Amino acid sequence: MFKTLALMGAAACLVAPAIANAHSVTQTHFLETAKPYAPYEFLIGDWYSKLASQGVVIHQQFKWGPEKSYITYASYLAMPGKPEQLHFEGMMVWDGKSKGLDFLFALQPGSGAQEKGTVTAQADGTIVREIAMTSSDADLDHFRQTFRKAPGGKVLTSMMEKTANGWKLDPPGEIVMERTPSSADSTSAKP
């Protein structure tokens, strides 16, 4: 027993340095000095939108990863009289080559569907999310979501779908995102 433990310990001593160096990256202060996430910072936090015609509340949550090294993005839907349900969740991370963010989201947990693509900041401050959505049976659709700052600390967002005839605005069109849900909707919001 002792020989086995000693051999395992010796093997770990030989393998551990190799594993540690397998993905070694020179430590820099790039994120602190270059601030590649600065254009996206206004989105950090919890945002709520109410689709009055459907009584649906959309809760979008943007959070920093450790040391602001990436952004997580989750979207929840609350139908009338029902608790909030996760719609998608994933990570957006800086890509030094494209000078934008790459993302991968799990869509409708358990569905086998995913969204992946890029997020870029335009010169006017608009954030554009280019989406390739793949269903569990390999159907592929393309979407484009935009986020724009609006007066009063609000954000406007819209989603478009790529069709054979070009880009088409998805219903309900442009929606307003606010920092706090209205008092009538506070029961459906996540804590």
Q: Do 88 and 158 have their domain in common?
A: yes
CB atoms within 10 A of CB 158: 15
Q: Is residue 191 part of a domain?
A: no
One digit per residue, the tens of pLDDT, for the chain of length 191 reads 545 444 444 444 444 445 455 556 566 666 666 789 999 999 999 999 998 788 899 999 999 999 899 999 999 999 999 999 999 999 999 999 999 999 999 999 899 999 999 999 999 999 999 999 999 999 999 999 999 999 999 999 999 999 999 999 998 889 999 998 764 344 333 43
Distance between first and last Cα of the chain: 51
Q: Is residue 67 part of a domain?
A: yes
Secondary structure of residue 42 in the 3-state scheme: helix
Q: What is the pTM of this model?
A: 0.79
Residue 62 near residue 79 (C-beta atoms within 8 A) = no
Paired tokens of 90:
């994933």
In whole angstroms, what is the distance from residue 136 CA to residue 139 CA? Answer: 7
Q: Is residue 102 part of a domain?
A: yes
What is the count of structural domains for the chain? 2
Q: Is residue 189 part of a domain?
A: no
CB atoms within 10 A of CB 92: 24
Query: What length is written for the chain?
Result: 191
Instruction: Look up the domain containing 11 and give its range.
Output: 2-32
**CATH number of the domain enclosing 93:** 2.40.128.20
Q: Is residue 187 part of a domain?
A: no
